[in-house]
Amino acid sequence: MKDVFAKLATDFFSTIVFLVLYLATDNVALATSVAIAGAVAQVIYARIKGQPLSFMTYASVGLVIVLGSATLLTHDPRFVLAKPSIAHFAIGAIMLKRGWMLRYSPPIVIETIPEYVTIAGYAWAALMFALGAGTIAVASTGDIKLWAFYVSVVLIGAKVVAFAVQYVAFRVLVTSRLRAARA
């Protein structure tokens, strides 16, 4: 579980840097510039350490550079604010692959309720698309404080709630199937 949160923090590092710096300084240009520099530094650090970088990491850095540059050139924060939506759409598209969640599930879940794991995988994809659309809607307002709330509370909260619902549902379903098999 610790690995999952570390990976999420790594994937959303530039967004977190932007958010924290903007909230501390109220300066979009500074927050955007530091987020771009942070994303590039993150890749350089990983390369120096010999850590493998995923396609998503490179895509994220590319988006930060392109959208951050557009924000700096146009003085319009909506470009950089839309960045998390693109990541959510990309992740949602990856999650459309049938059975993607099986490799992340415990063996007892895979053996007992594999069809529900597949359904849950599609539900996660739908959630990512909905959150991405919501991010674009909020970003299009240009209201950075609303966006900050959405990104830090709604995006994270929705995923925590979805994970909790999935955990309880899987636990109930596995227990039910195991009891039925024993009877």
The C-alpha atoms of residue 144 and residue 125 are separated, in whole angstroms, by: 26
- pLDDT value at position 69? 94
In the chain, what is the straight-line distance between the N-terminal and C-terminal CA atoms, in Å?
34
The C-alpha atoms of residue 49 and residue 160 are separated, in whole angstroms, by: 31
> What is the largest distance, in Å, between two alpha-carbon atoms of the chain?
68
11: pLDDT strictly greater than 80? no
Helix H or strand E segment including 143: none
10: pLDDT strictly greater than 80? no
Domain positions in the chain: 1-81, 82-183
- pLDDT value at position 60? 79
Residue 95 pLDDT class (50, 70, 90 cuts): very high
- pLDDT value at position 5? 64
Query: 116-159: per-residue pLDDT in tens?
Result: 999 999 999 999 999 999 999 999 998 888 998 998 899 989 99
Averaged pLDDT for residues 36-48: 90
Averaged pLDDT for residues 169-182: 94
Phi, psi (deg, nearest 5) at residue 86: -65, -40
- pLDDT value at position 42? 87
Q: Mean pLDDT, the chain, as a whole number?
A: 89
Ranges of H-type helices in the chain: 2-11, 13-25, 28-49, 55-74, 78-81, 83-94, 107-112, 114-141, 144-149, 156-182
CB-CB neighbours of 48 under 10 Å: 8
- pLDDT value at position 33? 94
Query: 44-90: per-residue pLDDT in tens?
Result: 998 899 988 777 778 778 888 999 999 999 999 899 889 889 889 98
Query: How large a percentage of the chain has pLDDT more than 90?
Result: 56
